[in-house]
């Protein structure tokens, strides 16, 4: 009996259209779109949504939203540099935050896969709103090529009828009362100072395995760091992210994820931190993150 098969190589225009329709589950849910493409290049956009806000007092987007978008956008550039069939996985992702995103405006990204080897792809990306010359954030990333046996063109994608919506339940007395995106992810602060991100369909990246979206793991680590550093230092206002490097060590499975943070070095204005996330074994983290925050100065303090 003959078996149907998907061609291993498609004409580039067909490949790009296939990639457009086969985003990660979170990519579909978030509304991320591939707007324009070239070999190894992706121009994407993410419509503004109130659920993406990280602080309702300022209306600024949660840094994790930008992290997740850049992770996915970089992945699209890698697929556009390959034949599209081979599964990829983020090995590391570095985000440098240039300025807060303007509330109410969409986020755009331009990602370039500038080199591929047999096993690794190297990417750089810029997130912006009105002009690429005025970035919100920049990123560099490395991806593993052929990370698993998933055929990214042939295997199933999310049924549009089953796509869950992104909602942020109200919790006026909780630690994330001002952060709709943290509430959307269901993040909880535990009595021992760790945080939990419960597994849910909306945070899936690869639905075949299934595996948690790398950007969601990065968003969780960033949230953990913000909350943990603020609690440790006893500051009322959350610190401002400067840069974050996430190292992906193991696939995030369909399980709850836990995380904690430690301060590596504290200065008058800058704090260096390290966060780690794990699932069923705290000694086997699925990802770690290292980064820097700027502390918000008390009124009357000289920042220089």
Q: Give the chain's domains with CATH numbers.
A: 13-148+166-294 (2.40.160.210)
Q: Is the pLDDT of residue 197 over 90?
A: yes
Confidence of residue 209 (pLDDT cuts 50, 70, 90): confident
| This model's pTM is above 0.85 | yes
Give the tens place of pLDDT for each residue, 279-297: 999 999 999 999 999 997 6
- d(C-alpha 303, C-alpha 190), whole Å: 34
Q: Do residues 271 and 118 make contact, with C-beta atoms less than 8 angstroms apart?
A: no
Q: Is the pLDDT of residue 185 over 80?
A: yes
3-state secondary structure of 82: coil
Confidence of residue 228 (pLDDT cuts 50, 70, 90): very high
Q: Do residues 8 and 80 make contact, with C-beta atoms less than 8 angstroms apart?
A: no
- pLDDT for position 148: 73
Q: Is the pLDDT of residue 95 over 50?
A: yes
Average pLDDT over residues 208-217: 89
- d(C-alpha 283, C-alpha 215), whole Å: 22
- d(C-alpha 229, C-alpha 119), whole Å: 37
- pLDDT for position 3: 35
Q: Do residues 62 and 224 make contact, with C-beta atoms less than 8 angstroms apart?
A: no
- d(C-alpha 141, C-alpha 81), whole Å: 14
Q: What is the mean pLDDT of the chain?
A: 88
Q: Is the model more confident about 153 or about 222?
A: 222
- d(C-alpha 210, C-alpha 231), whole Å: 34
Q: Is the pLDDT of residue 5 over 60?
A: no
- pLDDT for position 2: 35
Nearest Cα neighbor of 139 from 202, 93, 108 is 93
Q: Both tokens of residue 83? A: 């034949």
Residue percentage of the chain with pLDDT more than 90: 67
Nearest Cα neighbor of 206 from 168, 149, 164 is 149
- d(C-alpha 148, C-alpha 208), whole Å: 10
Q: Is the pLDDT of residue 111 over 80?
A: yes
CB-side neighbour CA atoms (13 Å) of 187:
33
- pLDDT for position 238: 86
The residues facing 94 across adjacent strands are: 140, 245
């Amino acid at each position: 009996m003959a078996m149907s098969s998907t061609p291993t190589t498609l004409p580039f225009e067909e490949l790009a259209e296939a990639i457009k329709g086969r985003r990660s589950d979170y990519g579909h849910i978030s509304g991320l779109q591939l707007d324009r493409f070239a070999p190894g290049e992706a121009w994407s956009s993410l419509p503004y949504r109130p659920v993406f806000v990280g602080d309702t007092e300022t209306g600024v987007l949660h840094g994790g939203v930008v992290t997740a978008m850049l992770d996915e956008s970089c992945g699209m550039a890698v697929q556009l540099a390959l034949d599209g069939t081979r599964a990829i996985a983020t090995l590391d992702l570095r985000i440098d935050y240039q300025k807060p995103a303007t509330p109410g405006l969409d986020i755009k990204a331009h990602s370039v896969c500038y080199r591929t080897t047999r096993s690794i792809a190297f990417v750089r990306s810029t997130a912006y709103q009105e002009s690429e010359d005025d970035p919100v954030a920049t990123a560099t990333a490395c991806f593993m090529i052929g990370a698993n046996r998933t055929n990214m063109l042939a295997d199933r994608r999310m049924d549009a009828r089953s796509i869950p919506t992104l909602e942020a339940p109200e919790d006026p007395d909780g630690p994330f009362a001002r952060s709709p995106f943290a509430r959307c992810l269901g993040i909880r602060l535990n009595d021992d100072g760790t945080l939990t991100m419960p597994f849910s369909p909306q945070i899936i990246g690869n639905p075949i395995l299934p595996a948690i979206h790398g950007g969601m793991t990065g968003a969780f680590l960033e949230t953990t760091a913000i909350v943990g550093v603020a609690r440790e230092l006893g500051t009322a206002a959350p610190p401002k992210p400067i840069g974050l490097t996430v190292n992906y060590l193991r696939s995030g499975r369909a399980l709850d994820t836990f995380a904690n943070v430690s301060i590596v070095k504290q200065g008058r204005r800058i704090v260096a931190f390290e966060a780690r996330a794990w699932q069923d074994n705290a000694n086997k983290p699925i990802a770690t993150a290292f980064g820097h925050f700027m502390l918000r100065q008390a009124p009357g303090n000289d920042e220089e």
